[in-house]
Amino acid sequence: MEKFIIALDQGTTSSRAVLFNKEGQIVGVAQQEFRQIFPKPGWVEHDPMEILNSQLAMLSKVIDDHHVTPKNIAAIGITNQRETTVVWNRKTGRPIFNAIVWQDKRTAPICEALKSQGLEEYVRDTTGLVIDSYFSATKIKWILDNVEGARALATKGELAFGTVDSWLIWNMTGGTVHATDYSNASRTMLYDIRRLAWNKKLLQALDIPGSVLPEVKPSASDFGIWKHGDVEIPIRGVAGDQQAALFGQACFTPGMAKNTYGTGCFMLLNTGTNIQQSKNGLITTIAWGLDGKVEYALEGSVFIAGAAIQWLRDSLHIIDQSKDSEYFAAKALGVDDVYVVPAFAGLGAPYWDMYARGAIFGLTRDTGKDHLIKATLESLAYQTKDILMAMEEDAGIKLSSLKVDGGASANNILMQFQADILATEVERPEVIESTAVGAAYLAGIHVGLWKKEDIVNHRKVQKVFNPAMEAARRDKLYRGWKKAVERCKGWAE
């Protein structure tokens, strides 16, 4: 009997279900975009019911469209946009407020209050993170403080918090399982990544009752059962999207790194069982929990990557589809004067400036949309270089190759520029959906369908981009980028 695994890839802009066969090949994909809600400048929300309904619809669609017998589905794996915060009523199962998205900046004042209490070093040592509105903790506090009756319900133990994985698991299991995995827990700014426990001091500092928190499990574990008709399908793998991509790219050895070009851009470097603290503005995160041990990674986060391409499409209307960016950028090759710094949600690593805002530099009378599109694409590569340099310094190694994935990695002009500006080869696999691959393998490993080495054997490289830019030009371009970033910092303070 043929066996399948389904990965639910719940992202920032869409919900996807990806069907894998026993050889680890994708045999079906269903995808649906959902609304982005912007109530005020710097605020970003999602409707949790829309996330849930779109994700369940895609799960059913991929089963129905590909005529898969539900009994042949060995397990479901879940990977999700991280840090996005949902708080719901345990009795009704309904969210008490929209999901506050990882890009949201409304909790910057709460972060400042924590810093004024001298908690920065404690947060870094305990959670591996920096105090920033990016992470879940301050979002939970904001909801409890600002939604009428929320704090009273939380005190009575009637509210539940979860990142999006927990929200999906709760609903898919009929409210019987309130859980998350190590990788997602490590993104909340409330989890002690050394002791593997929720941290009472930080909960107290933010006035968050421990009763709202989910149980934390290994990434390959029993997360309950989803019923499709009368068939019970086990949920057996969960990981935050970037950790899932690291796993899906088979970065199992310390020193291996990947970069995912999604809504944001996220580079992770495997550090094995060692917790490596950064001196250069990177964060330490749990990569995954598997086979009775926890492994860690250094991470650099670029908040706006593919979202900058969507901005060209949806706000400026200068491209019809994201993939058109490659065509227009090709028409401006050789023109290097324009820089776009897409700090729409502040700047992430290594700058960590909540008050930075986006800007365009170097405009002249003959600047056209081609130059703007090219510069926006290049901003993804420049931000990646910022992180890679910090990573190499922290880890004391020179990366010889960067594994890439995510939607924008399909763009050949971007990938060649990435190799050029890094002076490092860039390796793109045949399957660039590494987040879904990672979630599928975690679930498949738990049910005995695969072993870790199968990921290495199944993974195929589609193209390698080798650096071809002269060093003098590379240095000049990067100096211009750094100058542009400096002028964006602190704008909204």
Strand partners, 266: 260, 301
Amino acid found at 452: K
DSSP per-residue letters across 423-472: TSEEEEES---HHHHHHHHHHHHHTTS--HHHHHHH--EEEEEPP-S-HH
Q: Determine the Cα–Cα distance for residues 444 and 24; give it in Å rounded to an integer.
A: 10
Cα dihedral angle (137, 142, 144, 147), rounded to 10 degrees? -150
Rg (CA), the chain: 21
- Is 321 marked as a binding-site residue? no
DSSP summary character for residue 106: T
Decide: 297 and 271 in contact? Cβ < 8 Å: yes
Determine if the peptide bond prior to 350 is cis (ω within 30°). yes
Binding residue per annotation — 306? yes
Annotation-wise, does 310 bind a ligand? yes
Task: Name residues whose C-beta falls within 8 Å of residue 394's C-beta, 6 or more positions apart in sequence.
Answer: 276, 278, 279, 280, 282, 298
Q: How far is CA 322 from CA 23, 241, 313, 335, 347, in A?
A: 31, 21, 7, 21, 23
384 is in an annotated binding site: no
Q: Is 242 annotated as a binding residue?
A: yes
Please indicate if the annotation marks 16 as binding a ligand. yes
The reply to whether 83 sits in an annotated binding site is yes
In the block, which residue shows the tokens 């020193």? 255
Contact (Cβ atoms closer than 8 angstroms) between residue 86 and residue 95 = yes
CB atoms within 10 A of CB 24: 20
Flag whether 285 is marked binding: no
Annotated binding residue at 82? yes
Q: Strand 461-465 relative to strand 99-100: parallel, antiparallel, unpaired?
A: unpaired
Judge whether 428 is annotated as a binding position: no
The answer to the question of whether 383 is labelled as a binding residue is no
B/e letters for 372-406, b = 16+ CB within 10 Å, e = fewer, are bbbbbbbbbbbbbbbbbebbbebbeeebeebbbbb
- 14 annotated among ligand-binding-site residues: yes
Distance CA 436, CA 422 (A): 27
Consult the annotation and say whether 368 binds a ligand: no
Instruction: Report d(CA 186, CA 287) in Å as an integer.
Output: 9
Residue 229 neighbours by CB distance under 10 Å: 7
Q: What six digits make up the tokens of 188?
A: 């909340």
Residue 221 counted as an annotated binding residue:
no
- Tell which residue, 439, 447, 444, 463, has the closest CA to residue 23: 444
Residues forming the annotated binding site for ATP?
12-14, 263, 306, 310, 407
Residues forming the annotated binding site for sn-glycerol 3-phosphate?
12, 82-83, 134, 241
Residues forming the annotated binding site for ADP?
12, 16, 263, 306, 407, 411
Residues forming the annotated binding site for glycerol?
82-83, 134, 241-242
Residues forming the annotated binding site?
12-14, 16, 82-83, 134, 241-242, 263, 306, 310, 407, 411
